[in-house]
Structure 1
Amino acid sequence: MKLFTVVAVALALPGVPAAAQWEPPSEVLLIDARGAGAWVLTCALQNKKGETVTRALRGSGKRSQRLSMLEARGGQCSYQAASDQQLTLTMRRGLYSCPLPTETRKGCEQVIEAGGSGRFEIRWLG
């Protein structure tokens, strides 16, 4: 019972991260895409062996999706928002430069208006 009490108190203390707050290491490329409707995000990324790996996300509702890759060495992503809905892309900084125009506390983001499309580069800083 004492161990349970110590763990419960430790989790309640400020500055002690809870299990739900875990963040992946900075070597992991993370791009979150949020939007309703039929949006698309496609990335052609180079892995640490120099091979090109293609990752794609497709929206079909109002939920968020996450594209991730360990130690992506660079690449290019393209996006297309749904014809009648916005698409929000958020990229965690980590070991990557932020190619999206709005700086956030943890990275950068861009809101793409309905029907909008474009591309951005992924650059590894490690």
Structure 2
Amino acid sequence: MKSWIAAATIVLTAVPALAQWTPTDDVMIVEAKGDGAWAVTCQLQDRKGATVSREVRGGKKGWQRLTQLDARGGQCSYQAAPDRPLTIRMRGGLYACPLPTVSKGWCEQAVAAGGSGQFDIKRRDL
């Protein structure tokens, strides 16, 4: 009985740690949030040199996330909704920050309604 209680205690104390997973430095993360019809599209090179497309679009609440493990470089383009602003942020320890503001471990950019543009994804070690 005591061993069962001890095992249950170990399992229950480990559960919150699983919910707080932090990606490794080689995972490139781009997130975007806004209202309306916005889009962020990235063309990335994987470790084999193949082009991989990733995209997030408006329509859901909260941050929309696109990721790529061990991206070797690439470019992302964005388009805010015509009447609503868009916020873009990026994180990844191996990647240079292509956006103008750094806050709480993310580099960020606020895009005005109707705004569009692009940014490059570059690894720091290449």
Q: Does TM-score exceed 0.5, indicating one fold?
A: yes
Using the size of structure 2 for normalisation, the TM-score is 0.86
1:33-61: per-residue Cα shift (whole Å, max 9, x none)? 11111001111111111121121211124
Q: Output the aligned Cα RMSD.
A: 1.8
Using the size of structure 1 for normalisation, the TM-score is 0.86
1:11-54: per-residue Cα shift (whole Å, max 9, x none)? 6xxxxx72211011111110111111100111111111112112
Q: Can you give the 5+ residue segments of structure 1 that lack an aligned partner in the other structure?
A: 12-16
Paired with 1:90 and 1:99, the residues of 2 have a C-alpha distance of 10
Paired with 1:40 and 1:5, the residues of 2 have a C-alpha distance of 45
1:22 aligns with 2:21: yes
Q: Can you give the 5+ residue segments of structure 2 that lack an aligned partner in the other structure?
A: none
User: Which contiguous aligned blocks of 4+ residues in structure 1 show a shift greater than 6 angstroms?
Assistant: none
Q: Contact 1:40 / 1:79 at 8 angstroms: preserved in 2?
A: yes
Question: Identity rate of aligned residues, in percent?
Answer: 53
| Aligned AA (1:46) | Q
Paired with 1:37 and 1:110, the residues of 2 have a C-alpha distance of 18
Number of residues of Structure 1 aligned to a counterpart in Structure 2: 121
